[in-house]
């Protein structure tokens, strides 16, 4: 009985989309189209609403599959697999759009990754490769969880850059705490990677710490906030200055 209900729901949403366009659909309707079906106890729209009642769209891009399934009644592993596939396609489309984009400094890096990385609940350490014209040619997440001199190993950091024949890389990672202050581990890892880059001939152009309120640039030794810089951040900037 519920499968028939789900089919009717999907048919109605599809009809609306064909008449008015996908942009006319709500988040719940779009998510229902991806999930396709619910369970005997909850139809697909109830499952869709249940997901968005607990998580934002940005959360869905980063939460582990098991976490989603355990927190939302009626959400199956097959449904989450379909959702993961859609999210990955979106990520690849975005990467294609930004390929060739010129990245001159930390501000350009912040604009590139801010909307994505500020929502991550763990620290993501990313290497962004550029050619000699400073055009983006590739990105790779090299560490998830925390940044230190062990996890941010030069072998992983430069692997993609070497394969792409990159001129240089920007390193970027988020601080879930929302403080741009670099830790001692951040400073040590940056110095280690800089030295490794000098040896292999790939320049570390900058290392940027991203938060929702601003960013820290190791290259300039400064914190740039969207609001007035606090005394604490000024002190932090001086402590890590001139690492690059």
The CB-side HSE value for 48 (13 A sphere, CA atoms) comes to: 20
The per-residue pLDDT for 235 is 46
Sorted by where each begins, the domain ranges of the chain are: 2-96, 99-239
Q: Does domain 99-239 have CATH number 3.80.30.20?
A: no
Place of tokens 């719940």: 28
> What pTM, to 2 d.p., does this model score?
0.61
Strands in 136-145's sheet, in edge-to-edge order, are 136-145, 123-130, 168-174, 203-211, 214-217, 222-225
Question: What is the token pair recorded at 170?
Answer: 């920007």
Q: Collapsing DSSP states into helix, strand and coil, what is residue 100?
A: coil
The per-residue pLDDT for 69 is 74
The per-residue pLDDT for 152 is 75
Question: What is the token pair recorded at 173?
Answer: 């990672």
Contact 190, 219 (CB under 8 A): no
The per-residue pLDDT for 237 is 44
**Cα 66 to Cα 107: distance, rounded to the nearest angstrom:** 36
Which one, of 81, 92, 12, lies nearest residue 45 by Cα? 12
What is the full per-residue pLDDT of the chain (244 aa) written as tens digits? 467 788 899 999 999 999 998 889 999 999 999 888 887 888 899 988 988 888 877 777 666 767 777 777 777 778 888 888 887 787 777 666 666 789 999 999 999 998 888 888 888 999 999 999 999 999 988 888 765 544 678 888 999 999 999 999 999 999 999 899 999 989 999 999 999 999 999 999 999 999 999 999 999 998 898 654 344 444 444 444 455 6
Strand locations in 106-150, DSSP E?
123-130, 136-145
Which one, of 81, 83, 6, lies nearest residue 39 by Cα? 6
Question: What is the token pair recorded at 152?
Answer: 């941010």
């Amino acid at each position: 009985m519920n499968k028939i209900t789900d089919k009717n729901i999907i048919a109605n949403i599809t009809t609306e989309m064909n008449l008015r366009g996908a942009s006319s659909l709500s988040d719940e309707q779009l998510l229902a189209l991806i999930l396709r079906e619910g369970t005997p106890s909850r139809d697909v729209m109830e499952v869709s609403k249940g997901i968005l009642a607990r998580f934002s769209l940005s959360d869905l891009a980063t939460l582990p599959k098991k976490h989603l399934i355990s927190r939302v009644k009626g959400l199956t592993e097959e449904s989450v697999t379909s959702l993961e596939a859609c999210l990955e396609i979106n990520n690849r489309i975005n990467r294609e759009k930004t390929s060739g984009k010129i990245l001159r400094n930390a501000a350009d890096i912040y604009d590139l990754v801010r909307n994505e990385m500020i929502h991550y609940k763990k620290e993501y350490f990313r290497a962004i490769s550029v050619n000699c014209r400073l055009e983006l040619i590739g990105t790779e997440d090299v560490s998830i969880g925390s940044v230190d001199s062990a996890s941010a190993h030069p072998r992983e950091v430069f692997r993609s850059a070497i394969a792409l024949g990159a001129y240089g890389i920007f390193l970027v990672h988020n601080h879930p705490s929302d403080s741009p202050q670099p830790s001692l581990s951040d400073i040590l890892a940056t110095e280690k990677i800089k030295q490794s880059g000098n040896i292999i001939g790939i320049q570390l152009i900058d290392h940027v710490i991203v938060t929702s309120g601003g960013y820290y640039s190791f290259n300039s030794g400064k914190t740039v906030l969207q609001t007035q810089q606090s005394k604490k951040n000024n002190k932090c900037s001086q402590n890590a200055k001139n690492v690059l």
